[in-house]
Amino acid sequence: MSARRRRRGADSDVHNDERWMASYMDMVTVLMCMFIVLFAMSSVDAEKFEALSNSLATGFGQEPSEHTDISEGYVVPADLRTDEPSDPSALDLARRELDRLLELRDRIDAGLAAQGLQDAVAYDIDDRGLTVRLVGAETYFEGNSVELSQKARAVLGVVGGVLGTVDDEVRVEGHADPHGSPGPFPTDWELASGRATQVVRFLVEQTGIAAPRAAAVGFGSARPVANGADEASAALNRRVDVVVLSDEPDAVRELLPQLYAGIGQQGAG
């Protein structure tokens, strides 16, 4: 009797309530197998997998890199790396546009200097773009006439030759002296418009500027640049402006006058 009691006591050390662990382990194994099958059935993006692999390699020191896109979690390829911001500011764009317009100005000025005509024009850069100003109408036209002089043709040949290499729109603006007489023309409007039209015709027909890019505008005597009654002021108001219109957004073009003033208008005629 005592031996039987001892054997029963030894058997009582077995804990039957731990058998759930075997079932739990079986369930985890089945779940793992299921996820492996699902992963094997899915299509893996090779490029993303390689990018992730490179990023992990960099993180663990296997592949040194100084450029890592933290937001995306992968190494930025060398051909996509840049030190410039992806979205330049309006100021950056304005500086680029000013540099481009200054290059156009300098090319025109160099061409005129080669023919001894560098003093025949003046330049300005404002929120519209680059203005090449043909100051003193008597230099380019006969008195109260719209016919181009030989000097005008030489100057416009250089100007048009440079502007024909770019895609900007070109607007020719005619202006008259408010104190002068339009002569055979009924008003200053006809005189200024006629001169602007003749300049546009020459630029299109003789220098190769595409017609859809060119336009003529006559302002008459409504926009003088000098208000004096002396002859010097009158000469400034008798002018034709060849304006290279910038196609940058308004926020960019509004910065051009200030930037141009900041460089001291170096090289302006």
Structural domains in the chain, CATH included, are 2-80 (no CATH), 90-262 (3.30.1330.60)
Q: How far apart are CA 237 and CA 136, in angstroms?
A: 8
- Contacts of residue 82, Cβ cutoff 8 Å, sequence gap at least 6: none
Question: What is the per-residue pLDDT for 228?
Answer: 72
Residues 6+ apart with CB under 8 A from 156: 148, 199, 202, 203, 206, 207
Reported as a pLDDT band with limits 50, 70 and 90, residue 103 is: very high
| Residue range 31-70, pLDDT digits in tens | 887 777 667 656 556 666 666 566 656 655 555 555 545 5
One-letter amino acid at 128 equals: R
C-beta neighbour count of 200 within 10 angstroms: 22
Residue 159 pLDDT > 70: yes
Rounded distance, CA 195 to CA 189, Å? 10
Q: What is the mean predicted confidence (pLDDT) over 83-100?
A: 86
Q: CA distances (Å), 184 to each of 145, 158, 187, 188, 209, in order?
A: 9, 31, 9, 10, 31
Integer Cα distance of 269 and 51 in angstroms: 56
Q: Is the pLDDT of residue 74 over 50?
A: no
Q: What is the pLDDT of residue 193?
A: 93
Higher-scoring residue by pLDDT: 64, 168: 168
In single-letter form, the type of residue at position 39 comes to F
Q: For residue 145, with 0-12 CB atoms within 10 Å meaning exposed, 13-18 middle and 19 or more buried, which class applies? A: middle
144 burial type by CB count under 10 A (0-12 exposed, 13-18 middle, 19+ buried): middle
Backbone angles phi, psi at 46, to 5 degrees: -65, -40
Does the pLDDT at position 129 exceed 80?
yes
Q: What is the pTM assigned to this prediction?
A: 0.65
Look at residue 42 in the predicted model and tell me its pLDDT.
Answer: 65
Comparison of pLDDT for 199 and 182, the residue scoring more: 199
CA 208 – CA 25 distance, rounded (Å)? 84
| Euclidean distance between CA atoms 194 and 186, whole angstroms | 12
Task: Give the pair of three-digit tokens for residue 118.
Answer: 């560098």
Looking at residue 161, what is its pLDDT? 95
Read off the pLDDT of each residue in 100-125 and give the average, rounded to a whole number: 94
**Do 170 and 243 touch, CB atoms closer than 8 A?**
yes
Weakest mean pLDDT among 29-38, 87-96, 171-180, 236-245? 29-38
Tens digit of each residue's pLDDT (9 = 90 or more) over 198-233:
999 999 999 989 999 999 999 988 888 888 777 777
Nearest partner of 99 among 261, 259, 214, judged by Cα? 259
